[in-house]
């Protein structure tokens, strides 16, 4: 179901670590479930932005609204509506964890501690694995999967709790091109179904055709809006502090140089 509440709003949010600014007066608003890509150099505060949206970091100033709720006042309720795929997920290679176990973690985390997965939980886990094309790996050890396959399983885990907003931090790091295409199509379909996507990346090119909005972030908001409006040499120079070439062909554009790692 498509929600009538704005997806997410940052209102003059400032965050500091040990007196050093990580985010400064960050403001933007997404009025509906949409695909939002966050772009910026290393140290720009992109991961901090996601953690603030999750209520894991409390701003020094400003407020964050997710689906009509103030994150500072209702962090637990907000987190129940969010699926999160962090930049680096550590699952020990020595642990005998199967694909199904990883996805079931996304369901069990929302249940009372110690409760065993039900039949319905397992059906839900399998359904989400089908969404990312990994249902045939149900009984496979997680450690045997490629980087791209593991990332698809982690996305399935995030989707298993039926989030209304999905946050992804560099989901294409170490991912093969085939898995990247599958993930992008999955995310595109989620937005069509009314689930918002907020994704951090260092390479905007694969996402230009599916992104509704681009947030250019370098501690401050350099720009926010439609990709063709924001991905200009002038704006990207402000973002990275150096020349970035952009080629526009019809309704498409390609960023020829940017950040090699975010």
Rounded Cα distance between 124 and 105, Å, is: 12
In sequence order, the β-bridge partners of residue 66 are 8, 69
Q: Are 171 and 179 in contact (CB under 8 A)?
A: no
12 shares its domain with 75: yes
Are 210 and 189 in the same domain?
A: yes
Beta bridge partners of 223: 216
- Regarding whether 98 and 202 lie in a shared domain, the answer is no
Residues linked to residue 13 through DSSP beta bridges, in sequence order: 26
Run means of pLDDT, 10 residues per run, the chain, 262 residues? 75 95 97 95 95 96 96 94 84 78 86 74 95 96 92 95 95 90 95 96 91 97 95 93 80 66 42
Say how far apart CA 5 and CA 114 lie, in whole Å: 34
Judge if 169 and 73 occupy the same domain. yes
The answer to the question of residue 247 being in a domain is: no
Euclidean distance between CA atoms 102 and 126, whole angstroms: 11
Question: In terms of DSSP H, where are the helices of 40-111?
Answer: 46-53, 75-80, 99-108
Clarify whether residues 2 and 74 are in a common domain.
yes
Domain boundary among 137, 161, 185: 161
What SS3 class is residue 191?
helix
Distance from the Cα of residue 7 to its chain's centroid: 13
Residue 260 lies in a domain: no
Question: Which pLDDT does position 163 carry in this prediction?
Answer: 95
Q: Are 213 and 50 in contact (CB under 8 A)?
A: no
Q: Looking at residue 88, what is its pLDDT?
A: 65
pTM for the whole thing? 0.90
By residue range, what is the domain housing residue 3?
Answer: 1-81+163-228
Structural domain includes residue 38:
yes
CA distances from 32 to 9, 106, 109, 155, 257 (A): 11, 25, 27, 22, 31
Determine the Cα–Cα distance for residues 32 and 18; give it in Å rounded to an integer: 35
Verify that 170 and 76 share a domain, yes or no. yes
Q: What is the pLDDT of residue 212?
A: 97
* Distance between CA atoms of residues 90 and 185, nearest Å: 25
- The angle subtended at Cα 161 by Cα 132 and Cα 217, nearest 5°, is 75
Give the pair of three-digit tokens for residue 56.
């894991």
CB atoms within 10 A of CB 219: 21
CA angle (131, 134, 139) in 5-degree steps = 130
Query: What's the domain count of the chain?
Result: 2
User: How many angstroms separate the CA atoms of 54 and 33, rounded?
Assistant: 17
Inter-residue contact 224 to 40 (CB < 8 Å): no
What does the pLDDT read at residue 116?
A: 76
């Amino acid at each position: 179901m498509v929600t009538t509440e704005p997806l997410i709003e940052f209102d003059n949010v400032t965050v500091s670590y040990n007196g050093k600014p990580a985010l400064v007066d960050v403001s933007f608003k997404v009025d509906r479930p949409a695909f939002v890509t966050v772009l910026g150099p290393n140290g720009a505060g992109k991961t901090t932005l996601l953690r603030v949206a999750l209520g894991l970091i409390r701003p020094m100033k400003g407020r964050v609204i997710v689906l009509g709720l103030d994150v500072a006042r209702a962090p637990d309720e907000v987190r129940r509506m969010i699926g999160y795929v962090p930049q680096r997920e550590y699952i020990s290679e020595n642990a005998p964890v199967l694909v199904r176990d990883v996805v079931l973690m996304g369901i069990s985390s929302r249940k009372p501690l110690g409760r065993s997965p039900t039949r319905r939980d397992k059906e839900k886990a399998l359904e989400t694995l089908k969404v990312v094309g990994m249902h045939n790996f149900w009984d496979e050890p997680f450690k045997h999967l490629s980087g791209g396959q593991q990332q698809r399983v982690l996305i399935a885990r995030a989707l298993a709790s039926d989030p209304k907003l999905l946050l992804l931090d560099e989901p294409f790091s170490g991912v093969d091109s085939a898995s990247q295409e599958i993930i992008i199509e999955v995310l595109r379909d989620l937005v069509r179904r009314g689930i918002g996507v907020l994704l951090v990346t260092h390479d905007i090119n694969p996402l230009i055709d599916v992104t509704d909005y681009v947030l250019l972030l370098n501690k401050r908001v350099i720009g926010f809006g439609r990709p063709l409006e924001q991905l200009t040499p002038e704006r990207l120079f402000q973002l990275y502090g150096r020349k970035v070439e952009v080629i526009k062909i019809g309704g498409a554009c390609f960023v020829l140089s940017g950040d090699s790692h975010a």
